Homo-oligomer: A and B are copies of this chain.
Amino acid sequence: MSKVRVHNFAVSLDGFGTGEGQTLEAPFGHAGTRLMGWAFGTQTFRGMGVGGPGEGSHGVDEAFASNWADGIGVEIMGRNKFGPQRGPWEDEDWKGWWGDEPVFHTPVIVLTHHPRPSVQMEGGTTFHFLDAGPAAALEQARALANGLDIRIGGGATTVRQFLEADLIDRMHVVLVPIVLGRGERLWDGLEGLEERFDIEATPSPSGVVHLTFTRRS
Contact = CB atoms under 8 A, between A and B. Distances in A.
B203 A179 contact: no
A147 B68 CA distance: 53
Contacts of A182: 191
Contact of A194 (B175, B177, B194): B177
A165 interface: no
Interface of A: 13-15, 175, 177-182, 185, 187-194, 199-203, 207-209, 211
A178 B213 CA distance: 11
- Which of A179, A182, A208: most chain B CB closer than 10 A? A179
Copies of this chain present in the complex amount to 2
Nearest to A208: B201
Given A13-B175, A177-B199, 9 more contacts: A13-B187, A13-B193, A178-B192, A178-B193, A179-B194, A181-B187, A181-B191, A182-B191, A202-B203
13 contacts: A13-B15, A13-B187, A13-B193, A14-B185, A14-B187, A14-B190, A175-B201, A175-B209, A179-B192, A181-B188, A181-B189, A201-B207, A201-B209
A104 to B, nearest CB: 28
The list of the 8 closest CB pairs from A to B, nearest first, reads A181-B191, A14-B187, A179-B193, A177-B199, A201-B203, A178-B194, A179-B190, A201-B209
- Which of A188, A194, A199: most chain B CB closer than 10 A? A194
B177 A211 contact: yes
B199 A191 contact: no
A211 B187 CA distance: 20
Contacts of A175: 13, 175, 201, 209
A177 B178 CA distance: 17
